[in-house]
Amino acid sequence: MAEAELMKEIERRRTFAIISHPDAGKTTLTEKLLLYGGAIHMAGSVKARKAARHAVSDWMEIEKQRGISVTSSVMQFQYQGYCINILDTPGHQDFSEDTYRTLVAADSAVMLLDGAKGVEAQTIKLFHVCRMRQIPIFTFINKMDRASKDPFSLMQELEDVLGIRSYPINWPIGTDGDFKGVYNRQLRQIELFYGDQSHGQAIVSSTRGTVDDPVFKELLGEPYYSRLVEEIELLDMAGDEFDLGKVLKGELTPVFFGSAMTNFGVGPFLEDFLKMAPPPGPRAFGEQIISPEDPNFTGFVFKIQANMNPNHRDRIAFMRICSGVFRRGMQVHHSGSEKPVRLAQPQQLMAQERESIEVAYPGDIIGLFDPGIFRISDTLSTTPGLTFTGIPSFPAEHFARVSAKDTMKRKQFLKGITQLAQEGAIQVYKQPDIGVEEFVVGAVGVLQFEVLEYRLKNEYSVDLKIQRLPHRHARWIVSSPAEPDQLNLTSSTMLVHDGRGNPVLLFENEWSVNWARDKNKGLELSDISP
């Protein structure tokens, strides 16, 4: 492929994740972006009573029941010449691990805040991950159609709590349930939205014009109009200059106001975001920096999802393409097995719906049929010897002993546990000298046990026995003065092995961790797996 053509495809790609605290409206915003992009004709809100449709991105049954997203989904669509890949991430903190992994595959992030609640706990965590990775962050302040905090105090909060400067690209007109439109600061233009009769299922119509136009004074009424003029003056006097270079370094966040539920402000946000957000950039593979325009193909697996189609019991590995051109049926080097692999059944994803693809470019996320060979962070490349090192793993904080209620279902139980561990949904440990009838399962959040129980029952027809354990800390043995089973440990400390056979100690508290270090000179422990 001609270099110029590859460059053109890279330039028009935008791959971003949406991050937020639970209930800030993330799935709703994702839906609305798809609606504006023409990918769906009717948006299904998570909460809308008037519409019995479920959100497109929440495809797992448990997600539909609870109204929360538990796995990250990927959606691709075209809009105004751009090719957009959205990574929707679970907002619930019990699934933060999945979110962290997904952020590795994104080039920028949209941080969604609830206008009434401002910056919340989970948002802070996710923000810091983006900051660490120097990912550009764009802020969308949602639910402006309801009672919300003063926009100036929300800006202040971004600075005080997150330590990032902000620049409002637009400004809300009318708050506290009387949201009328936005003022675009760069174009010095008012956009008023007409009342939404479709309960947010269709694109809203609007009217645009300059602040000086007397029509707007009439449409808004005197109090709203004079307040807007006053606020614009304040912003222009006090505010920072807009600097795209700082945005791309993650030092300044552009702020947009709107309401995903009613679609007010979604269209203007999408248009401005696409102009500002970066296309795919270079990635580090160990010591090597791989640029997207490099003609050699490179990608990495950041997520594995089993049973996306319950009728076929399949597994899909999600791969982010970093360089070169992907072609269906191509042969690549697989870092996990050190063997060549043929990528025969690639799919483009739209939540649950998938279509086969022939070709894909840097920035794209594609689904690969996984016969059970892929692991998270595997590198697939036409250049042997590359290893992607950017995916963090987090220690579990909750543990439980699990076994199948019916011993006749041992085979399904094993299969289910193994597959969910490969997905990264749980961490699985084995106690030495205990058969394969039971495992110790680690999770970052308690809700993961419920999802494990639900999925084993519904996808593998296995009822679980779950016995919660008091342990809170997993530590891998890096070096030891004696065999692991010969160490001097507290009576409650448990020795287990992880999926790769590495010895791991499970402790109830920090005190017993320190005891182990004190009583065994030369014992080196790590909270991250080797």
240 known member of a binding site: no
Q: Specify the DSSP class assigned to residue 159.
A: I
Would you say 25 is a known binding-site residue? Answer: yes
Question: How far is the C-alpha of 445 from the C-alpha of 58, rounded, in Å?
Answer: 20
- 184 Rama sector, left if φ>0, alpha if ψ -120 to 50, beta otherwise: beta
The whole-angstrom distance between residue 512's C-alpha and the CA centroid of its chain comes to 35
Integer Cα distance of 444 and 398 in angstroms: 6
First to last CA, the chain: 40
Query: What are the structure tokens assigned to 423, written together?
Result: 């997905």
| Bridge partners (DSSP) listed for residue 505 | 475, 495
How many alpha carbons fall within 13 Å on the CB side of residue 13?
26
One-letter amino acid at 400 equals A
Annotated binding-site residue? 114? no
Q: Binding residue per annotation — 145? A: yes
324 annotated to bind ligand = no
340 is in an annotated binding site: no
433 is in an annotated binding site: no
The annotation status of 21 as a binding-site residue, yes or no, is yes
Annotated binding residue at 144? Answer: yes
Distances (CA, A) of 112 to 30, 176, 424: 11, 18, 25
CA angle centred on 389, ends 385 and 392, rounded to 5°: 155
Residue 26 among known ligand-binding residues: yes
Tokens of 362: 């840097």
Distance CA 443, CA 440 (A): 10
Residue 20 marked ligand-binding = yes
Q: In one letter, which amino acid is 333?
A: H
294 has binding-site annotation: no
Residues 223, 225, 228, 230: is their CA dihedral positive or negative? negative
| Residue 45 annotated in ligand binding | no
Consult the annotation and say whether 91 binds a ligand: yes
Q: Rounded to the nearest 5°, which phi and psi values hold at 326?
A: -90, 130
Annotated binding site: 20-27, 88-92, 142-145
Give the residue numbers of the binding site for GTP. Answer: 20-27, 88-92, 142-145
